[in-house]
A and B are shown apart, each in its own frame.
Chain A
Amino acid sequence: MSSVYALYPTADAAQRAVNNLHAAGVPDEQITIVSSEPFEEHEFANREKATWMGWIALAGAVLGLITATWLTSMTELAWPLKTGNMPIVAWWPNLIVMFELTMLGGILAAVITLLVTAQLVRRRPAFYDPAVSDGQILVGVAAAGDPATVERALGVADVRRA
């Protein structure tokens, strides 16, 4: 089992390679595509688009809200000091801190989701070629059952193995 891949100079060429791989019986989950820019217009780039991130961010925001509500009212009740004829638990000012921590909760939840789902905390890239930074698009199969079939499907002369 080894990785087989090729580099394509344009998104259209990469799309054709992906189509050929599909025709050769390689499913989407086994195909790896790496590029230095996102390609919204092409079909190969539309994989794994669905995400729970929005809902997770919302949950983070709710968590922030609860934390802030607890923090402000708990601390105000723990040491009830009178200031300026205001109530001990002062809701108008508390709302401000609650708003800020709500937004912070949402932002942090989105970022943590990004780090986890994009596997950004990995030290070694699994399957990569620096040529991608020059604008090439990498299309390949990570664990090729039948390297020869994959090679044929990729269709270019310069097929590499990793």
Chain B
Amino acid sequence: MAHRWGMAVDLDKCTGCGACVTACHAENNIPIVGPAEAARGRAMHWLRVERYFEGEFPDVRVKFRPVMCQHCDAAPCEPVCPTYASHHTDEGLNAQVYNRCIGTRYCANACPYNVRFFDFFNPQWPKPLHLQLNPDVSVREVGVMEKCTFCVQRINAAEIAAKAEKRELKDGDVQTACAQACAARAIVFGDLNDPESEVARLSRSPRAGHLLEDLGTLPKVAYLERQTQV
């Protein structure tokens, strides 16, 4: 059966440390926009840790939620792209084809999760970060949209390796950078079509829910609700 890639994030384990954000930057050649541009609201974190404070002192509660592209099965960003730069693959990923993008930014407006980012300038990395670019991932030019791809380069590499070795992909063969970096193993990535995979098991948990589910986007990231309080 074809793969259907999905993710589960256990909010009970997440400490909000941000290692996943850093790993995503490193893996996917995400530009460093600099303090001035970040102040203008143009920071590009494909994966961000949303933090909310609730309540008044001394009953303050903190909530963390790592938010990345949900790879929605009914993604609102896909039909609005005039050039098919944003479309759905057969493995359930929302693909962003940089070469087709003409930068209308409609997809970013349509995305309720605000997980799409625009290259306002040609990317640059202050030295020595230019030495750590990932050769498996393209560098985007000014004027195109980019977002979390579920580390499609790793998925493709694993699939090619499995095909070459004439075997099936096992659960755990593909790890996204954020899942790999998470010290608490809060982020789990895998094939939702494999009922034995950890991500499928976690998605069936009674604690599992989805972000902005009532909008009808059919997101594929399951968030397991927090049971302990900070």
Interface string of A75-99 (1 = CB under 8 A from B): 0000101111110001001000000
**Nearest A residue (CB) for B76:** A84
Interface size grouping (class) on chain A: under 10
Q: Which of B74, B76, B84 contacts A81 (CB 8 A)?
A: B84
Residues on A with C-beta less than 8 A from B218 are: 85
* A84 lies within 8 A of B84 (CB): no
Interface string of B59-79 (1 = CB under 8 A from A): 000000000000001111111
**Nearest B residue (CB) for A81:** B87
Residues on A with C-beta less than 8 A from B79 are: 83-84, 86, 90, 93
> Shortest beta-carbon distance, A98 to chain B, in Å?
17
Residues on B with C-beta less than 8 A from A84 are: 74-79, 88
Enumerate chain B interface residues (CB-CB to A < 8 A).
Answer: 73-79, 81, 84, 86-90, 218
* 12 examples of A-B residue contacts, CB within 8 angstroms: A79-B84, A82-B78, A82-B87, A82-B88, A83-B84, A83-B88, A84-B78, A84-B88, A85-B73, A85-B74, A85-B75, A85-B88
Enumerate chain A interface residues (CB-CB to B < 8 A).
Answer: 79, 81-86, 90, 93
Known: A84-B76, A85-B75. 19 other contacts (CB 8 A): A79-B84, A81-B84, A81-B87, A82-B78, A82-B88, A82-B89, A82-B90, A83-B78, A83-B79, A83-B81, A83-B86, A83-B87, A84-B78, A84-B88, A85-B74, A85-B88, A86-B79, A90-B79, A93-B79
